[in-house]
Structure 1
Amino acid sequence: MVPLADGRELEVLVTGPDGGVPFVFHHGTPQGAVPFGILERAATTRGLLTISYSRPGYGRSTPRVDAATTATVADDAADTAAILDHLGHTEFITLGWSGGGPRALACAAMLPDRCRAATSGVGIAPPDAEGLDLLAGMGPENVEEYGAVSGGIEALTAWLEEHGTPLFSVTAADVVAELGGLLPPVDQAALTGELAEYLAASCRHAGHQGIVGWRDDDLTHTRPWGFDVADVHVPTSIWQGTEDLMVPFAHAVWLSEHVAGTRPHLVQGEGHISLLMKIEQILDDLLDLAGLQPPGRA
């Protein structure tokens, strides 16, 4: 547990070699920080020290008192900086997946002197993305959820308590059924074994304090993020699959066109979950962006 200046605490998980390059992983929505062997093994073999944390309200991390009113995605970059300070690290690289994608971009925007490179994996576009229909192509559950957001905090809370809480008790065996219309066939096929175990465990941990973390994530996703993606000049990449039903492919196209100098990887035939199985390529790309050569890949 990392203490913050405002009295909150954040739950932090650190895995990898002593002296490794700090690598911050921002989890999706709704998730909490739990061991993620598929990611951590790939990172460790590349000399990376994986640092993941439960965002406010998830797991054991203290919720933000201003989440319902003024908190922004940019605030998560400040939390990231505080974690790195506590651990004694200055520079870092970062990957955000799904709901974590905006947090990786926030780190690039808000911490340009520390963040050497950032990757948004299947990440959403900002709510004020000009010319983009945010809901077009989304699975029905996400469309309902975003509709609840537009009804205000009470409507969102009620929707999550009715429709979201079953995810907090999900097992690997029933995670595909629980996610329903959000999974195209390619994601259903990928969501087995260790990947299914990780996602189920992360969702269960997300609900340690109930729906507060999920609710507050949704609120910060759907209000102005606190930075302009056009102001991101740290080397970045955007990874996305064409079959994604959680975050439609058009979000990645928009980000690729509006994040300055980004390197797009728009992958045919992959979905929101299946793309995680390309984690070694994603990490190699991130290291290349940062000017760091993976061991054995000179």
Structure 2
Amino acid sequence: MDQMLRIGDRMLMYAVYGAEDGVPVMSFGGTPSTRWKRPEVVATIETSGLWMVMPDRPGYGGSTRQPGRTVASVADDAVAVADALGWERFAVTGGSGGGPHALACAALLPDRVTRCAVTASNAPPIVDGPEPTEAEEQAYPRRNRTSWLAVHGDLRPGLEKTARSIMAAVVEGGPEFPPDPGSPPGPPAREDPAAVARLTATFVTSHDGWIDDHIAFATPWGFDLGDIRVPVSLWHGSADERAGKYADHLAAAIPHAERKCYVGGHIPPTNAYRELLRWLTLS
């Protein structure tokens, strides 16, 4: 169910999944993504005993853009959404670019957040020095060209080119998500109006949230990973080497963080996602 919340002079859009008597969980989408999720993801949430809210960060899905936002800025929005839902305490989770935002809530809202699980989360990048080479980026993902350009160049042309390429593949019959290595591709997204709507909202309607996410990642996050005291689990796929290297850094920086490796790639399969959701409900 889509909802709208006014925060100052901004509008924030969010969607709620599951049952109102479920465990409260706030989920932060990847970079880029919106609050609209694939049916299999929604089904897993609904069978896991959760009441989950997925806010669109500023610049995504109808949420008003917030130029200059930091990763830490998400905490104020999280409080506003939780208050609107009547939540005193809640767990947080985030995948890929949503991971830093979930970690921000864990660090900055210790009296509200119960647990934090992130999947294939980014780690703070290193943007000093010259533009990284492709070899440097593969060896040290924290030295990546996207983050470097976010500080020293212009991200928009490259992201728009990527978006056009993704949508062109969809037009040609590609799936909504690329399959894991060795797995068959999913059905053609162009044959599913709901999938086309999700892709259009993510890759066509606006690129502002995508750009602002990367700028936020590449500049000071606004909190210290070492200040996180709530239970944290760091999930990544066995075939996702980049995410594994990010997890190395996060595990070293966050006290008592647990490592959780599942068989798969960047997007967790249903069994791994269900286990992550179960972990969020533990007391």
CA distance in 1, matches of 2:136, 2:279: 27
Q: Deviations over 1:59-85 (max 9, x none)?
A: 111100x33xxx210111211111111
Q: Distance in 1 between matches of 2:266 and 2:189?
A: 12
Q: How many residues align?
A: 270
- In the TM superposition, what is the alpha-carbon distance from 1:11 to its structure 2 partner? 1.1
Alpha-carbon distance change, 193 to 276 in structure 1, aligned in 2, over 3 angstroms: farther
Q: CA RMSD in A?
A: 3.2
Gaps (5+ residues) in structure 1? Answer: 292-298
- For residue 126 of structure 1, give the secondary structure of its aligned residue in structure 2: coil
Q: Displacement of 1:52 after TM fit?
A: 0.6
- The one-letter amino acid paired with 1:270 is G
Distance verdict in 2 for CA 1:51–1:274, change over 3 Å: closer
Name 1:45's counterpart in structure 2. 47
Structure 2 counterpart SS, 1:125: coil
1:86 deviates by 1.5
- Return closer, same or farther for 1:6/1:248 CA change in 2, 3 Å cut-off: same
1:59/1:207 contact within 8 Å kept: no
CA distance in 1, matches of 2:188, 2:42: 12
For residue 143 of structure 1, report the CA deviation from its aligned partner: 4.9
Aligned to 1:273: 267
The normalised TM-score by structure 1 is 0.79
Give the structure 2 partner of residue 295 of structure 1. Answer: none
Instruction: Name the counterpart of 2:78.
Output: 80
> Hey, what does 2:158 align to over in structure 1?
159
How many angstroms apart in 2 are the aligned matches of 1:102 and 1:276? 22
Contact 1:21–1:48 under 8 Å retained in 2 = yes
Query: 1:201: how far off?
Result: 5.0
For 1:37 and 1:10, the matched residues in 2 are separated by: 23
- CA distance in structure 2 between the partners assigned to 1:134 and 1:25 by the alignment: 32
Structure 2: gaps spanning 5 or more residues = 128-134
Question: Shift of residue 287 of structure 1?
Answer: 1.7
Tell me whether 1:286 sits opposite 2:280 in the alignment: yes
Pairing 1:241–2:198 present:
no
Q: TM-score, normalised by structure 2?
A: 0.83
Q: Which amino acid aligns with 2:267?
A: I
Cα-to-partner distance string for 1:56-113 (whole Å, 9 max, x where unaligned) = 111111100x33xxx2101112111111111222211111000001111111011111
Going from structure 1 to structure 2, the CA distance change for 1:229 and 1:194 (only over 3 Å counts) comes to farther
Amino acid at match of 1:18: E
1:174 maps to 2:174: yes
* Aligned partner letter, 2:157: A
Q: Which residue of 2 aligns with 1:114?
A: 112
Q: CA shift at 1:134, angstroms?
A: 8.7
- The letter of the residue matching 1:117 is R
Partner deviation per Cα, 1:3-45 (whole Å, 9 max, x = no partner): 3332111111011112222111111011111033333322222
State how far apart, in whole Å, the 2-side matches of 1:114 and 1:195 are: 38
- Residue number in structure 1 paired with 2:256: 261
SS for the counterpart of 1:106 is helix
Matched position secondary structure for 2:138:
coil
Which residue does 1:228 correspond to in 2? 224
Equivalent residue number for residue 210 of structure 1: 206
Q: Distance in 1 between the 2:151 and 2:188 partners? A: 36
Secondary structure of 2:20's counterpart equals coil
CA distance in 2, matches of 1:106, 1:282: 19
Query: 1:138 Cα deviation (Å)?
Result: 8.0
SS in 2 for 1:56: coil
Distance 1:53 1:166 in 2: 27
Identical-pair percentage = 29
